[in-house]
Amino acid sequence: MAQQGIPLLPMVVLAMLSQCSAWLTPRISFPQGSPGRPLVRFHRPGVSNTTMLLLSRDGDTLFVGARDAVLSLDVSQKEAIGIRSKLDWSPSEKDLQQCSMKGKEMTDCPNFIRVLQFLNTTHMYACGTYAFSPRCTYMLTETLLMASQSSRPEEGRGRCPYDPYQRSTAITVDGELYTATVADYRGNRPVISRHLSPVDLKLDDTLGWLEDPTFISSSFIPSEEKIYFFFSEVGREYDFIDKFIVSRVAQICTSDVGGQRTLQRRWTTFAKAQLLCQASSELPYNVVQDIIDLPPPEGAPADDTLFYGIFTSQWSVNSGQSAVCAFRLGDIKAAFSRNYKVLNRDTLRWSTRVQEKIANPGECGLHNASDNTLRFVKDNFLADDSVQPVGRSLTMVSHDQKYSHLVAQRVRAANHRDYTILFLLTDSGYLHKAVLLEKGAHIIEEVQVFQQHQAIVSMQLSVSKGVVFVGSSEGVVRVPVASCSVYSSCAQCVLARDPFCGWAPERTACVEVSPVPASLGQDVDAGNVEEVCSTAPLSPRARFGPNSLTTGETLSVSLNQVVRLQCPGASRHAQRLWERPDSRISPDLCLHMEDGGLRFVATPATLGQYLCLSTELGHRQVLAVYNVEQRTPAPAPPAAAAANATTARAHAHPAPTPTPTAWTTAPPGGPGLATTTGAKVRGEVKRHAAGAAVPSGAPEPRPPTGAGGVAPSGWPRDVGSKDGGRLPLALRPSYLRELVAVSTLLALCLSALLAVALGAVRQRCRKRTAPQAADGGAEREALRGEPPAGADGQRANGRGARGGRPHSATPKAANGHLPNTPL
């Protein structure tokens, strides 16, 4: 386990079990090319990798370090970016061949500008990778010409990285260049050094002052005469199985000239401390991605300078997430003024210093100290305490976006309060604008600046011009810090909670807040529309009254047609809902879509007015109004009008028809119903084609089947969804009444057929069990003394058939008794 600090396993468990904070979602999104957020782009054929940006002091010129070139761009105009001058600086063919022979890809061998700094008012200093052999040169600011054309650019080892994808940082102070980069081809010798100075200094790489670092940025604090470097490295003070990455802040004094005997031409004021970006009971965000400084407000002490940084995590449990932490300069100074750890050179293990404190590491002026003091400083350069974030909490956390770069600005709002605005660039190419409030961060909007992921990106903020410049391989993009005209109403202007924007009642427009005092409506903290816009919440009667709504859009539809109503998304933070003034929206008839729309089948019950409303921060507003009406049929041609008149006369004087319950044999391809039933169906078809409304409660007419089982052309066919698929079950028309009627008729028919069959079977059984009539006739002839029926039987039978007295079915004797029956 570590000697100090972070119990890894319990923190992992707590991080997995802890509840995530509310996800930060941009209120409004502007895709690339949106008219509400116009962007100005610069791109020229042959110019690529415009990733190093440097803004002039007046804000009218933007210097860009690109691939094999340095550009000077005119950014004084809002609508365009023009090129003023260009310096071509590419390696020779021999240098490119040597780079390829070293095993590097030819796409990485050009000269990528990685250092671009002002030396004074007339000269600049630039360094490039130059085919994995860094070179540096002086150039004139006005013309971008090299200061000495006859001499070859000087070697840039220790000033510029070899690899164009290796991160580094550089800053100039009083004409001297301070860099943090690698000093060898393989990138194994990290170094923080000073150049262009009477006494160049660097770190003693034999002391292990840096452990595989990734340099991020650097900042100069004039009041302290110190330069702070921010980077991440392997934390050797933690004895974990895996390499534990920590974020660091290191300091050096600009007045340092090295020791006289100990630490000659080496830093004597180098010290570093850990930056801890961590919330309670969660894993730390330990890998810094970018960090910038924000000067204190006017009149505040220099210790109130804030450093805002983007941090990610090396563990998969926090993969894809980013956190923003703020560190105060006073807290950094306090960590450097306390105790330090000491490194045992034999065991390479760290421990807290227990011996007497000889000197305070990191203190300026130690170059004149004794050798004993410098040896103490040499072994004690890691602060024992970590630098905690402001408030010991995270400034903001994004669970679905990974931020890579940021810039910060302090803005004076209409209420004369200062707010901090962060512009954060995501890996997906969006620029988020967030305002820091007491209750947490609020992302006002997101603007898409490029479509594909960019390996190297840089950002530059121009406060005087009110724009953010973003440089990438696709070119340079100019993004205004605010676009207040996109908010068309007072409610939208207030709900945006943008410190840059306020509502001007006399102009009835949302305008930018100017330094000149003006009465603008604005509520950045709460977004209270009713208070700022002087509006009161409306009752349902007033909200749906004739004076509170516009006419809206009228939609003419046919019955059984699928209707889809769109609801414009005014804000991602608003909750959208649909309402009807005269009735409620039944979930059995209407389907709410994920995009906020509403879909239903046009029936007499679903026709009428629909309103889409949104609720945000307690304010309700109408976004859209629709009047869904039944479509009026087009006028029929003369031939069709005559046919309709004939049909009308036929209906006015109908011919006698059989009983409606009778069934007849359907002709080939016919409907299979009796005459009256067929006339009824045809009447329903004509009324449906003419647009007649179906009475409430009456069963819907069923389409007759024509030849081949296809409905006639005048009958509406099965309505599907927009993409051709079948409708959801809740939206399909119901034929329950027709199904019940047909089932009842079928049951009656089956019962009648069964009764007829049973009667026939019963009659047959009676005939089989009764005495035969032929035998009775023979007995009667014998008693009467007549011969038996032979050849004359036909005569007897014929006589009976001609109308003789019918004989009984049961033969009897002359005395009236049955034959062969004892008297």
CA distance 95 to 565: 64
CA distance 116 to 70: 9
Lowest mean pLDDT among 2-6, 78-82, 167-171, 554-558: 2-6
Cβ count within 10 A of residue 18: 14
Residue 322 has pLDDT above 60, yes or no: yes
CA distance 224 to 256: 13
pLDDT digits (tens, 9 = 90+) for 109-146: 999 999 999 999 999 999 999 999 999 999 999 999 98
Q: Which amino acid is at 40?
A: V
Residue 261 backbone class (left: φ over 0; alpha: ψ -120 to 50; beta: rest): alpha
pLDDT band with cut points at 50, 70 and 90 for residue 240: confident
CA distance 26 to 6: 34
Topology at the third CATH level for domain 484-532: ligand-binding face of the semaphorins, domain 2 (3.30.1680)
Instruction: Write down the pLDDT at residue 201.
Output: 94
DSSP string across 384-405: SSPBPPGGGS-SEEESS--EEE
Cβ count within 10 A of residue 54: 18
pLDDT band with cut points at 50, 70 and 90 for residue 378: confident
Are 193 and 200 a contacting pair, CB within 8 Å? yes
**Letter string b/e over residues 677-696, b meaning 16 or more CB atoms within 10 A of that residue's CB:** bbbebeebbeebeeeeeeee
Residue 158 backbone class (left: φ over 0; alpha: ψ -120 to 50; beta: rest): left
Alpha-carbon torsion (284, 288, 289, 292), positive or negative = positive
Residue 7 has pLDDT above 50, yes or no: no
Q: Which amino acid is at 747?
A: A
Alpha-carbon torsion (696, 697, 701, 702), positive or negative = positive
Instruction: Write down the pLDDT at residue 142.
Output: 92
Instruction: List CB contacts of 12: < 8 A, sequence separation 6 or more.
Output: 283, 315, 317
- Which two structure tokens, joined as six digits, stand for 192? 């923080």
Residue 245 or 705, more confident: 245
Are 543 and 631 a contacting pair, CB within 8 Å? no
pTM, rounded to two decimals: 0.74
Residue 566 or 660, more confident: 566
Number of helices and strands in the chain (H, E): 12, 40
pLDDT digits (tens, 9 = 90+) for 393-409: 999 999 888 999 999 99
**What residues does each domain of the chain span?**
1-28+201-399, 484-532, 540-630
Residue 286 or 815, more confident: 286
Instruction: List CB contacts of 9: < 8 A, sequence separation 6 or more.
Output: none
- To the question of domain 540-630 being in CATH 3.10.20.740, the answer is no
pLDDT digits (tens, 9 = 90+) for 668-684: 333 333 333 334 433 44
CA distances from 282 to 10, 279, 312 (A): 9, 6, 13
Instruction: List CB contacts of 423: < 8 A, sequence separation 6 or more.
Output: 406, 407, 408, 409, 431, 432, 433, 459, 461, 468, 481
Instruction: Write down the pLDDT at residue 283.
Output: 87
CA distance 488 to 190: 54
Residue among 89, 232, 108, 106 nearest 169 (CA):
232
User: Which H or E run contains 98?
Assistant: helix 93-101
Residue 592 has pLDDT above 50, yes or no: yes
634: helix, strand or coil:
coil
608: helix, strand or coil:
strand
N-to-C CA span, the chain? 130
Instruction: Write down the pLDDT at residue 808.
Output: 43
pLDDT band with cut points at 50, 70 and 90 for residue 637: low
Best mean pLDDT range from 137-151, 409-423, 783-797, 799-813: 409-423
In this structure, which CATH number among 3.40.50.1980, 2.130.10.10, 3.30.70.360, 3.40.50.410 belongs to the domain 1-28+201-399?
A: 2.130.10.10
Residue 690 backbone class (left: φ over 0; alpha: ψ -120 to 50; beta: rest): alpha
Instruction: Write down the pLDDT at residue 640.
Output: 53
- Which two structure tokens, joined as six digits, stand for 502? 């306020």
In this structure, what DSSP letter does residue 600 have?
E
pLDDT digits (tens, 9 = 90+) for 140-192: 999 999 886 546 789 999 999 999 999 999 999 999 999 999 999 888 899 99
Residue among 264, 258, 315 nearest 286 (CA):
315
**Average pLDDT score, the chain:** 80
CA distance 596 to 588: 17
CA distance 181 to 215: 7
pLDDT digits (tens, 9 = 90+) for 678-705: 344 334 434 433 444 444 344 444 444 4
Mean pLDDT calculated for residue range 644-673: 43
Are 258 and 264 a contacting pair, CB within 8 Å? yes
pLDDT digits (tens, 9 = 90+) for 427-484: 989 999 999 999 999 999 999 999 888 878 999 999 999 999 999 988 999 999 999 9
Residue among 389, 384, 405 nearest 337 (CA):
384
Mean pLDDT calculated for residue range 735-753: 88
Cβ count within 10 A of residue 811: 17
766: helix, strand or coil:
helix
Lowest mean pLDDT among 62-76, 204-218, 785-799: 785-799
Residue 648 has pLDDT above 60, yes or no: no
